[in-house]
Structure 1
Amino acid sequence: MSVPFQKYHGTGNDFLIIHADEYVPDRGALAERECDRDDGVGADGILYLALEERFSPPRVVMTLVQPDGATAPMCGNGARCAAEWAMRRTGADSVMIDTQAGTLRADRTDADDIIIEMGTPTFDPAEVPVRADEPVFGEEIEGLDVTMVNTGVPHAVAFVDDVPDEFFESEVSRSSSDAIDDVDLETIAPPVRYGDAFPKGTNVTIASPDGSGGFRQRTYERGVEGETDSCGTGAVAIAVVARRLGRTDADPVAVSPPGGDLRVSFNERGNATLAGPVEHEFDGEVTVESPAEQ
């Protein structure tokens, strides 16, 4: 028994999209198998989407299952991929995305990018969540100076000039935007990701100023348990933290993960928006257990 999927990516953050009506008895097991880049199709998660065209603009109910089999409440690039998927089916240039972190509006821009509202970021320890009495700004946690913010999911944000020397793979100038490439993210991130301070774990995002008010980005994602080519909530986290700490006054803030270029803006309500390209890669099918095999 098999179900069809479509493969999309937003700046390298890639997902299998399966219509929510398709029968998948164990979504977690399917994600663990098919997100594997050696033995499966390879992806940063599986998006299950239900399209409700009776609304104006159309609505999409989005559920993200990550490679570890767990469900994530929000994914910025995943939501942008969901929006592109829905727009292609309806012909609409605006859609509403229902996520576990709230309902978000997405629009197609004149440049054919997808821009999506990302809600209101919060530093509140109870909402991040992080075990702290006050918001965490530049405090040492598990060997790394981080600022904690929730942009739909928790992020521990650090800038390269705060990364200890032992976590660089070579001697580099911290003022260089290339310094981020030499950070040993696979070593420095896991202790923070699983730190006792975080009751639900955290993503770990490193930023390096690009010299023009923007930033380069690398993110170790919770649920993927490794670095991804892009992370939309991480890009928003960098922009929010950088503005809060006085590291930039740009708007939009350009953020460049390894997979491409994103733009983070702030609207009149104080909500962040995330914009960038989305691409449809290919279609295929994956095998699932039939009812008789369960």
Structure 2
Amino acid sequence: MSVLNSVPFEKYHGTGNEFFVVDAEDPVPDRPAFARTHCDRDAGIVLTGSDRRGADGVLFLALESRYDPPRVVMTLVQPDGSVAAMCGNGARVAAAWAAERANTDEIMIDTPAGTRRATVDGNEVNVEMGIPSFDPRDVPLESDDELVEGEVEGLTVTAVNTGVPHAVAFVDDVDDVDLESVAPSIRHAPLFSEGANVTIASPDGEGGFRQRTFERGIEGETQSCGTGAVAVVAVAKRLGLVSGDDPVSVSPPGGALSVTVPDEGTALLGGPAVREGNGEADIVFRQR
């Protein structure tokens, strides 16, 4: 491994989902190596005054302020070096980062999953998440049929794409599930041709849901997953557990998110995006 120079970064989190943010104008030639090195939870970057190393991914953001509203091109490189098509919490972080620089409260976010509109009010960010799809071609599935409450590796799941694929299971209590043991076999099940995030949910007793997600590309549970929160509500509507167009509270371990999945139109995800600090990160190349 050779160190060429360093690049400035900022660290943000959305309900505990942590990201390093790098301005795309600062060149990082080997983005996968950069993410694998610095996101590592045992040996990655740690901010001064923090005891938590690494992150759940690196957001490479390119602000294009000449547009009205301004646009930000978002590329999320995950800790395993892969690129995620969409990330709800990451999109909210991208919107907060771009809105501050463009001095605006409305941002268009260009992602591999499509363009999403976001509005920013202080630390609170709401972002359009597209229309959830159960179509087996969109998830995608190695099947011609939708997967709705089907058994996969011992868990009853429903498959939906909310920008990325999710296998969603409703359980009595999310705390009773050993997610790190249960999820990997579902995440890698042959039925999911590109793999899947594994999300479990249980009613919170107040009309909302508690959520836990094992994320593809991180290969472990995260404190929050925005696409997973949208998946929970989309599947809950499909199964008749909720109805209507009102926002639903979904609470992963890192905090509460607001999710709206209307009968028609795009889903919405709302919650905080918080800047934690900044620093300098070595640009590294993995010798092959």
Tell me which interval the TM-score lies in, with the shorter structure as reference length: over 0.9
Q: Which residue is equivalent to 2:268? A: 273
Native 8 Å contact 1:213 1:249 kept in 2? no
Native 8 Å contact 2:117 2:127 kept in 1? yes
Q: Which residue is equivalent to 2:50? A: none
Whole-angstrom distance in 1 between the partners of 2:157 and 2:262:
26
Q: Which residue is equivalent to 2:25? A: 21
After TM superposition, the runs of 4+ consecutive aligned structure 1 residues lying more than 2 A away are 266-270
Q: Which residue is equivalent to 2:68? A: 56
Equivalent AA in structure 2 for residue 30 of structure 1 = F
Native 8 Å contact 2:230 2:261 kept in 1? no
Alignment map for 1:21-170 (pairs within 5 Å): 21-41=25-45, 42-109=54-121, 112-160=123-171
| 1:247-282: CA deviation from partner (whole Å, max 9, x where unpaired) | 122620100000000000135742100000110000
Whole-angstrom distance in 2 between the partners of 1:132 and 1:198:
9
Q: Which residue is equivalent to 2:247? A: 252
Q: Which residue is equivalent to 2:258? A: 263
Q: Which residue is equivalent to 2:51? A: none
Native 8 Å contact 1:128 1:154 kept in 2? yes
Whole-angstrom distance in 1 between the partners of 2:15 and 2:123:
14
Indicate the SS of the match to 1:137: coil
Native 8 Å contact 2:170 2:200 kept in 1? yes
1:215 is displaced (CA, Å) by 0.2
Whole-angstrom distance in 2 between the partners of 1:267 and 1:22:
39
Whole-angstrom distance in 2 between the partners of 1:152 and 1:112:
23
- Percent identical among aligned pairs is 60
Native 8 Å contact 1:146 1:156 kept in 2? yes
Task: Give me the CA root mean square deviation.
Answer: 1.5
1:89 is displaced (CA, Å) by 0.7
Whole-angstrom distance in 1 between the partners of 2:205 and 2:108:
35
Match of 2:222 among 225, 228, 234: 228
| 1:273-292: CA deviation from partner (whole Å, max 9, x where unpaired) | 000011000001110148xx
**Greater CA drift, 281-290 or 203-212:** 281-290
Whole-angstrom distance in 2 between the partners of 1:58 and 1:15:
22
Whichever structure has more strand as a proportion of its residues is 2
Whole-angstrom distance in 1 between the partners of 2:247 and 2:33:
39
| 1:169-210: CA deviation from partner (whole Å, max 9, x where unpaired) | xxxxx3xxxx21121000100000000101100000000101
Gap regions ≥5 residues in structure 1: 161-173
With normalisation by structure 1, the TM-score equals 0.90
Indicate the SS of the match to 2:130: coil
Native 8 Å contact 1:104 1:119 kept in 2? yes
